[in-house]
Structure 1
Amino acid sequence: MASSGSSSISNNDINPSCIYDVFLSFCDKDTSESLASYLYTALTVAGIVVYKDEDKLLNHDQMITSSVLHAIAGSRLSIIVFSKLYAVSTCCRQELEKIMECRRTTCQIVVPVFYDADPSGVFHQEDLLGEASKYLKQRILKKDKLIHEVCNISGFAVHSR
């Protein structure tokens, strides 16, 4: 956040189209009650404006709404919490596509966090596709380029206790 001095600038001065500091992308099935919730709380307490799709918790794995797409485009930074079920979620895959589009077109900062998923396994789809059916594997692997692109970004590995 900006300091209180006279030369400080706000986030909106840097990019006036940004309405959120952070967009939090996660799979509600295996991270919403743990890491995603912790990240949201910690960032919010620190004064960071975070978008967390609460509707995802109610309507998991549906198509994402235009408001979610707008929130992604209107965020300075996206945190992607990769988990074992992230890649099999239709909603998460759509968020990932939009996030990576924004990274390419608006230089949005992307921070991958690998939660109970080995980063090398994410690239090879081993951890994320372990529970997917053969049909889902074929459908998801078509978008392997996105996963490869994200895995080339420096991120963090987090393991539950």
Structure 2
Amino acid sequence: MSFQSSHASCKSWNYDIFVSFRGVDTRNTFVDHLYAALDQRRITYLNLDKLPQGELMGPLLFKAIKESQIVIVVFSKNYADSFLCLNELVSVTECMEEKGQIVIPVYYDVDASYVRNQKGTYEESFARHELLHNKDKVESWRKALVYASNLCGWDLKYNANG
């Protein structure tokens, strides 16, 4: 069955794709190009730039995750700094289990093993999270990272110097 026909037969999907990313790392580089390619192909996704002013992002993001057939998780150096990104990832892994979503990890200028094993900047982020958040929450983030980073994905190296 093709992507288009499976999308049409499933009424619970309002978006083709949801993109989870850390804006400071990827918005003006990889994600902008990804969104342009999705627009070109007329693939539906939640466009954060078109949200009404004053809209609460958290609830809207989690609703969009649940309503998306495919989720692209763009892991970058500072992805784990954001508790919102980590909460999104927990929601993504839950929806993958419950609804059969397709999840595609993309490693943008970060090694997959650093994500999986929480090394480098991920280790530093979790050291801070452990001081600020409860143990169960931090553990759920760690498990979601391991789960998602064990999926097949793409490794993209970015070099600002060309």
2: CA distance between counterparts of 1:9 and 1:20? 14
Question: Structure 1 residue 18 and structure 2 residue 13: aligned?
Answer: yes
**How do residues 44-59 of structure 1 correspond to structure 2 at under 5 angstroms?**
44-54=39-49
Amino acid at match of 1:126: K
Distance change >3 Å, CA 133–CA 69, structure 1 → 2: closer
Cα displacement (A) at 1:72: 0.5
Q: Would the aligned equivalents of 2:95 and 2:101 in 1 still touch at CA under 8 Å?
A: yes
Superposed CA deviations along residues 6-35 of structure 1, whole A, max 9, x for unmatched, are xx847232x101010000110011111011
**Match of residue 89 from structure 1:** 82
1: CA distance between counterparts of 2:82 and 2:35? 20
More helix per residue: 2
- What TM-score results when the alignment is normalised by the length of structure 1? 0.81
2: CA distance between counterparts of 1:141 and 1:90? 9
Instruction: Select the residue among 136, 146, 149 that pairs with 1:148.
Output: 146
Contiguous gaps of at least 5 residues in structure 1? none
Distance change >3 Å, CA 27–CA 17, structure 1 → 2: same
Q: Would the aligned equivalents of 2:114 and 2:122 in 1 still touch at CA under 8 Å?
A: no
Query: Partner of 1:105: helix, strand, or coil?
Result: helix
1: CA distance between counterparts of 2:13 and 2:122? 34
Matched residue pairs, number?
151
Contiguous gaps of at least 5 residues in structure 2? none
Query: Partner of 1:34: helix, strand, or coil?
Result: helix
2: CA distance between counterparts of 1:50 and 1:36? 12
- What TM-score results when the alignment is normalised by the length of structure 2? 0.81
Question: Structure 1 residue 72 and structure 2 residue 84: aligned?
Answer: no
Amino acid at match of 1:11: H
Cα displacement (A) at 1:45: 0.6
**Match of residue 31 from structure 2:** 36
Distance change >3 Å, CA 54–CA 121, structure 1 → 2: same
